[in-house]
């Protein structure tokens, strides 16, 4: 069988992205036939090499799988929490294939997460240069004025000292002391929506992601449920990050 770079193999078996694989290799955690292998260009023959991470043999490339998941709030987007808090692992374990969340939602945030073992797609969807859109519905304290929303729209908000990219922002509902906002972001920095809303003086009370890369969270997918992505949804995600030609995007 043709030789492949070790980091490509690790991504293809669904372990992680290529970049993460390189980190693991640099950390001396990956062995090939029992030898620690740190060189990023190392080639292996997947048919004959025994590749292990932290001493655990990594299996042959598995079938690529793509799901959407309605993450309920109250679960961490990780597979293991040293503090023993609930994680999404229990939901993922019910699936027939091993898949991983693309990006994260905070513990108290619900909504759409993509799950896959396609490391290359996951890496691109998470990379800021692809400007993948994410739509959030945020219930906030108080009623943000249009002037304040303009600060979000024009990128005049600093998050940890760096300007946040301009976001689409619109009021969906307003009550006497609360408002509901829809925010469309192309960045995915840590606690970004909460930080952006806090920066204009409106604390987020509840947050839900209602779309990812133009795929909406279906109304008939209840919290805690997963469903396979359709071939056209998979093609759309790949087209958005340049993995298939844009003219094969069924959404265009
Ligand atoms: N913004 C946040 O503040 N939290 C999330 O989980 C996602 C976006």
Ligand 1 center to residue 96 CA distance, Å? Answer: 28
The fraction of the chain above a pLDDT of 70, given in percent, is 98
Atom 7 (ligand 1) nearest CA: 105
- Within this chain, do residues 123 and 138 fall inside the same structural domain, yes or no? no
- Within this chain, do residues 165 and 224 fall inside the same structural domain, yes or no? no
- Within this chain, do residues 114 and 223 fall inside the same structural domain, yes or no? yes
- Within this chain, do residues 235 and 184 fall inside the same structural domain, yes or no? no
Average pLDDT over residues 195-220: 97
Among 207, 209, 212, 217, which is best to mutate for testing ligand 1, by the most ligand atoms less than 8 A from CB?
207
Find the domain containing 41 and state its range. Answer: 4-57
Q: How does pLDDT run across 103-121, given as a tens digit for each residue?
A: 999 999 999 999 999 989 9
Looking at every residue in the chain, the average pLDDT score rounds to: 92
Give the CATH number of the domain where residue 178 resides: 3.30.70.1560
- Ligand 1 atom with minimal separation from the 185 CA: 8
- Within this chain, do residues 203 and 222 fall inside the same structural domain, yes or no? no
Q: What is the DSSP string of 71-138?
A: EPTT-BSSS--TT---BTHHHHHTSSS--EESS---TTEEEEEEEES-HHHHHHHHSGGG---EEEEE
**How does residue 2 score in pLDDT terms, banded at 50, 70 and 90?**
confident
- Within this chain, do residues 149 and 201 fall inside the same structural domain, yes or no? yes
Give the CATH number of the domain where residue 29 resides: 3.10.290.10
- Within this chain, do residues 27 and 81 fall inside the same structural domain, yes or no? no
- Within this chain, do residues 150 and 198 fall inside the same structural domain, yes or no? yes
Counting beta carbons within 10 angstroms of the beta carbon of residue 210, is it exposed (0 to 12), middle (13 to 18) or buried (19 or more)?
Answer: middle
Q: How does pLDDT run across 240-249, given as a tens digit for each residue?
A: 999 988 877 8
- Within this chain, do residues 18 and 31 fall inside the same structural domain, yes or no? yes
pLDDT at 35 over 90: no
| pLDDT value at residue 83 | 95
Give the CATH number of the domain where residue 85 resides: 3.30.70.580
**Which of 57, 76, 101 is a domain's end point?**
57
pLDDT at 49 over 90: no
| pLDDT value at residue 249 | 83
Which residue in 54, 81, 93, 106 is the catalytic one? Answer: 106
The fraction of the chain above a pLDDT of 90, given in percent, is 71
Q: Please, which residues bridge with residue 109 across strands? A: 207
> In terms of Cα–Cα distance, which of 59, 76, 49, 46 is closest to 13?
59
Atom 2 (ligand 1) nearest CA: 191
Query: Which residues, judged by CB distance below 6 Å to any ligand atom, belong to the binding site of ligand 1?
Result: 105-106, 109, 191-194, 207
- Within this chain, do residues 185 and 222 fall inside the same structural domain, yes or no? no
d(CA 189, CA 103): 10
- Within this chain, do residues 240 and 118 fall inside the same structural domain, yes or no? yes
Q: In the annotation, is 106 catalytic? A: yes
- Ligand 1 atom with minimal separation from the 77 CA: 6
User: For the chain, how many structural domains are there in total?
Assistant: 3
Ligand 1 center to residue 138 CA distance, Å? Answer: 10
- Within this chain, do residues 206 and 243 fall inside the same structural domain, yes or no? no
- Ligand 1 atom with minimal separation from the 104 CA: 6
pTM (predicted TM-score): 0.79
pLDDT at 202 over 90: yes
**Which of 57, 80, 101 is a domain's end point?**
57
Average pLDDT over residues 144-160: 95
Q: How far is CA 134 from CA 56, 63, 128, 190, 215, in A?
A: 36, 27, 12, 14, 9
Beta strands 43-44 and 35-36 are unpaired
């Amino acid at each position: 069988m043709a030789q492949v770079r070790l980091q490509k193999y690790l991504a293809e078996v669904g372990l992680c992205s290529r970049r993460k694989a390189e980190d693991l290799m640099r950390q001396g955690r990956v062995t090939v036939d029992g030898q620690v292998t740190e060189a990023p260009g190392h080639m292996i023959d997947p048919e004959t090499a025994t590749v292990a991470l932290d001493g655990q043999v990594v299996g042959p490339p598995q079938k690529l799988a793509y799901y959407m998941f309605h993450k309920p709030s109250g679960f961490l987007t990780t597979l293991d929490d040293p503090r023993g808090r609930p994680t999404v692992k229990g939901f993922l374990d019910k699936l027939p294939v091993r898949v991983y969340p693309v990006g994260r939602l905070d513990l108290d945030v619900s909504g759409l997460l993509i799950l896959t073992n396609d490391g290359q797609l996951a890496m691109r969807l998470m990379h800021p240069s692809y400007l993948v859109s994410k739509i959030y519905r945020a219930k906030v304290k108080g009623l943000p004025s249009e002037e304040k929303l303009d600060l979000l729209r024009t990128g005049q908000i600093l998050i940890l000292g760096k300007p946040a990219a301009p976001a689409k922002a619109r009021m969906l509902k307003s009550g006497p002391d609360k408002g509901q906002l829809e925010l469309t972001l192309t960045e995915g920095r840590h606690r970004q929506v909460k930080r952006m809303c806090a920066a204009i003086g409106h604390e987020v009370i509840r947050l839900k992601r209602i779309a990812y890369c133009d795929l909406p969270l279906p109304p008939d997918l209840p919290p805690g449920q997963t469903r396979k992505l359709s071939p056209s949804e998979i093609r759309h995600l790949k087209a958005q990050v340049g993995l298939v030609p844009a003219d094969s995007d069924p959404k265009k």
